[in-house]
Amino acid sequence: MQHPIYVTKTRLPEPETFSRLCKDIFQRAWITNNGQCVQELERTLAEYLGVSHVLVCNNGTMALMLAIQCAGLAGKKVAVTPYTYVATLSALLWLHCTPVFVDIEPDTLCLSPELLRGRFEEEPDIAGVLPVHIYGLACDVENLDALCREYGAVLIYDAAQAFGSRYHGKSLLEYGDYSICSFHATKIFHTVEGGCVVYHSADAHKALPLARAFGHINDTHYSLGINGKMSELHAAMGLSLLPGTDAELARRREVRAMYDAALEGLPLQRPALREGLDWNSAYYPVLLPDEECRVLAEQTLKEHGIHPRRYFYPTLNTLPYLKEEWRVSCPVAEDAARRVLCLPMYGGLNSKDTQRVASYMNSALYGSAKLFSSNF
Ligand SMILES: *Cc1c(COP(=O)(O)O)cnc(C)c1O
């Protein structure tokens, strides 16, 4: 069997780069609580991304919770996409929010502004909206922003997968009242575990650092807080990886082009790229013509040591632990979730790898008895 190819591969810095920073940390003997590396990471990230304010924390889920809490949305109704990683929803549920699932656009797979307007009309008490730039692709930020202003809702983007994506010349993280990113080891830029909130208001500038560190400064307690702090060692990983991030983004663009070429002619639907988007190629999602094809493709790849993932299945509106009244049907998302596969994607893949993946996709789709063509 040929070497296995997993859906992604963790990017690591030169060990020397990381250990040099660690040596300094050991010398300072200050290993957490808003240390020097954390502050430097916040500064360099804001500069690298070109965003107003960055607060780093210990993971992306915490970043979501900090943003939801500081936006005053805890316990309220929040519209959310069903087509995302489960953490988007978990953050809402831990803060006792009521999720209002709004289906996605069939082409971009992001939350549909048109359907959102309908939900606002029916449920004027929706206080916040939590769309996801899925796969690092851009939501319809113009219309979502306009709608949230019109209906007085807070707009928080889950941009966990969008590091490095730019839209009309700006980082996708700069959009919305708040935007969160994940720095988990599987993401393009990471700190092993980590995340950040990008924000704009003076209120957030006060509230977020407090919320991240138990809500108090010395003996004065201001507001409800939690432990969302990032350690110096995690920040050092981020500082070590940030300089190589542009090269990783460029490599991913090449891998995407290799896949596009190798898979040409196969009946695969790809999510639409919005005009003005410079995509980070965080994933390589393809939608098979139907569920049967998806099963076959997944099986064939796995038999040959290639490990795609079903990002994102199941859709969150169907989770077993939801309250019955939250389970609205979201046919577009459910259909996409049945047909989607994310093929392996990371900067280290070469053209042999992508051709290997493509040839098994081809044999799954054409080498079998199954004839399809009706949908395409
Ligand atoms: C990765 C991810 C998260 C969670 O981030 P963690 O850092 O793992 O907590 C949340 N939302 C989306 C869309 C993600 O992809």
Which pLDDT value is given to residue 312? 97
- Number of H helices and E strands in the chain, helices first, is 12, 14
Predicted confidence (pLDDT) at residue 368 exceeds the cutoff of 60: no
70 lines ligand 1 (CB under 6 A): no
Question: Which atom of ligand 1 lies at the shortest distance from residue 64's CA?
Answer: 10
Predicted confidence (pLDDT) at residue 374 exceeds the cutoff of 70: no
pLDDT band for 371, please (50, 70, 90 cuts): very low
61 lines ligand 1 (CB under 6 A): yes
Domain boundary among 243, 272, 290: 243
Within this chain, do residues 219 and 272 fall inside the same structural domain, yes or no?
A: no
Which one-letter DSSP state was computed for residue 375? T
Which pLDDT value is given to residue 153? 98
Within this chain, do residues 194 and 272 fall inside the same structural domain, yes or no?
A: no
Would you say 77 and 98 are in contact if contact means Cβ atoms under 8 Å apart? yes
- Cα gap 374→376, rounded to integer Å: 6
Which pLDDT value is given to residue 376? 34
Which pLDDT value is given to residue 2? 83
Which residue lies with its CA nearest to atom 6 of ligand 1? 60
Answer yes or no: is 161 within a domain: yes
Predicted confidence (pLDDT) at residue 373 exceeds the cutoff of 60: no
Answer yes or no: is 6 within a domain: no
Query: Can you say how many angstroms the Cα of residue 14 is from the centroid of all Cα atoms in its chain?
Result: 26
Query: Can you say how many angstroms the Cα of residue 103 is from the centroid of all Cα atoms in its chain?
Result: 17
Within this chain, do residues 56 and 145 fall inside the same structural domain, yes or no?
A: yes
- List pLDDT tens digits, range 80-137: 999 999 999 999 999 999 999 999 999 999 999 999 999 999 999 999 999 999 999 9
* Residue whose structure tokens are 């459910």: 334
Averaged pLDDT of the chain: 96
The letter for the amino acid at 250 is A
128 lines ligand 1 (CB under 6 A): no
132 lines ligand 1 (CB under 6 A): yes
- List pLDDT tens digits, range 27-77: 999 999 999 999 999 999 999 999 999 999 999 999 999 999 999 999 999
Q: Is 187 a catalytic residue?
A: yes
Domain count, the chain: 2
Within this chain, do residues 108 and 184 fall inside the same structural domain, yes or no?
A: yes
Answer yes or no: is 372 within a domain: no
Within this chain, do residues 257 and 204 fall inside the same structural domain, yes or no?
A: no
- Cα gap 275→163, rounded to integer Å: 18
Predicted confidence (pLDDT) at residue 372 exceeds the cutoff of 50: no
- Cα gap 128→155, rounded to integer Å: 6
- Cα gap 48→241, rounded to integer Å: 12
Domain boundary among 179, 209, 243: 243
160 lines ligand 1 (CB under 6 A): yes
pLDDT over 90 for what percent of the chain? 97
Instruction: Choose the catalytic residue: 76, 77, 187, 229.
Output: 187
Range of the domain at 238: 15-243
- The DSSP annotation for 4-31 comes to PB-S-------HHHHHHHHHHHHHHT--
pTM above 0.85, yes or no: yes
Would you say 167 and 278 are in contact if contact means Cβ atoms under 8 Å apart? yes
Q: What CATH code is carried by the domain that includes residue 59?
A: 3.40.640.10
Question: Which atom of ligand 1 lies at the shortest distance from residue 187's CA?
Answer: 1
- List pLDDT tens digits, range 141-163: 999 999 999 999 999 999 999 99
Nearest to 253 by CA among 324, 193, 145, 165: 165
Strands 195-199 and 53-57: antiparallel
Within this chain, do residues 217 and 362 fall inside the same structural domain, yes or no?
A: no
Which residue lies with its CA nearest to atom 7 of ligand 1? 60
Within this chain, do residues 197 and 79 fall inside the same structural domain, yes or no?
A: yes
Which pLDDT value is given to residue 237? 98
Answer yes or no: is 150 within a domain: yes
Q: Is 314 exposed, middle or buried (0-12, 13-18, 19+ CB in 10 A)?
A: middle
Within this chain, do residues 200 and 299 fall inside the same structural domain, yes or no?
A: no
The letter for the amino acid at 42 is E
For a pocket test of ligand 1, which of 61, 84, 110, 196 has the largest count of ligand atoms closer than 8 A to its C-beta?
Answer: 61
pLDDT band for 367, please (50, 70, 90 cuts): confident
Would you say 285 and 341 are in contact if contact means Cβ atoms under 8 Å apart? yes
Predicted confidence (pLDDT) at residue 317 exceeds the cutoff of 50: yes
Which pLDDT value is given to residue 354? 97
Predicted confidence (pLDDT) at residue 1 exceeds the cutoff of 80: no
- List pLDDT tens digits, range 91-103: 999 999 999 999 9
Within 13 Å, how many C-alpha atoms sit on residue 208's CB side? Answer: 27
pLDDT band for 202, please (50, 70, 90 cuts): very high
Written as six digits, the tokens of 256 are 């995407």
Nearest to 156 by CA among 136, 179, 135: 179
88 lines ligand 1 (CB under 6 A): yes
- Cα gap 312→134, rounded to integer Å: 9
Answer yes or no: is 183 within a domain: yes
Nearest to 136 by CA among 176, 101, 105, 173: 173
33 CA distance to ligand 1 centroid (A)? 23
